[in-house]
Amino acid sequence: MKYCIVNGDDFGAHEGINRGIHEAHERGILTSTSLMMNMPGTADAVRIGRRTPGLSVGIHLHLAAEAGGARVDASATHACATKLERQVEQFHDMMGRLPTHVDSHHNIHRLPTLRPLFLDLAGRHGIPLRENSPVRYFSSFYGRWGGETHPEQIGVSQLLHMLETEFGDGFTELSCHPGYVHPGFATGYAREREIEVATLCDPRVRRALEELDIHLISYQDLGSLLEEAS
């Protein structure tokens, strides 16, 4: 069986990002998202997440500076562990439950100093961590590199090609970054986010998934499916 989780990063970064993620879920193929704590759009994202039960909401951990504070040095492992755990606690307080999955902003969980902290946190809470679970992480649906935009990489034709050639048996997470960027929100990935929304909502993509026998699931479905397979 082929299973695909379509996960939108940066939920909570800004209200425009939230709107794009919600639209890609309601009208498109997005099934899961990763919520950032202590960001301008966090409260808005929580409201959306709580009223959209079909949307699986995990946590997008980060070490960015909070209001009035400073960014935590990745080499200060105790401070990092405290900050990461605090974000999980905040998520639980705001969402009323634990996240369905864990990943990180700019994939900081890959850093040698931080990886053990992420593994420990995910293990203690029993939450799948990106690249450290039965779910394969597929990150090529991204439209910017080398300081230049590449809209063709996130267009419908390219996504259809990816689904046909890159998605085999088992579980695969298609990482994406849909959203609408408003003035005042600083990001190097702007116009590309709106292209992603349009692509994820294009009916040709859903038809291709059906034709390729790729089953859309979310992270909140993962545990039961793994139990069935064992």
Residue 60's pLDDT is 98
If you average pLDDT over residues 141-167, what whole number do you get? 97
In this structure, the number of other CB atoms found within 10 A of the CB of residue 147 comes to 6
What 3-state DSSP class applies to 74?
coil
Q: Any idea where the domains of the chain sit in the sequence? A: 2-229
Cβ–Cβ under 8 Å, residues 22 and 12: no
The amino acid present at 64, given as its one-letter code, is A
Q: Which DSSP symbol is given to 36? A: P
Task: Please state, in angstroms and rounded to a whole number, the distance separating the CA atoms of residues 174 and 6.
Answer: 5
Instruction: Assign residue 58 a region (left: φ > 0; alpha: ψ between -120 and 50; beta: otherwise).
Output: beta
Spatial distance between the Cα atoms of 140 and 109, rounded to a whole number of angstroms:
18
Residue 6 has pLDDT above 90, yes or no: yes
Integer Cα distance of 192 and 152 in angstroms: 10
What average pLDDT does range 169-176 have in this prediction? 98
128 alpha-carbon distance from chain centroid: 13
pTM for the full predicted model: 0.95
Whole-number pLDDT of residue 68: 58
Query: In the CATH scheme, what is the code of domain 2-229?
Result: 3.20.20.370
Quickly state the pLDDT bin for 74 (edges 50, 70, 90).
confident
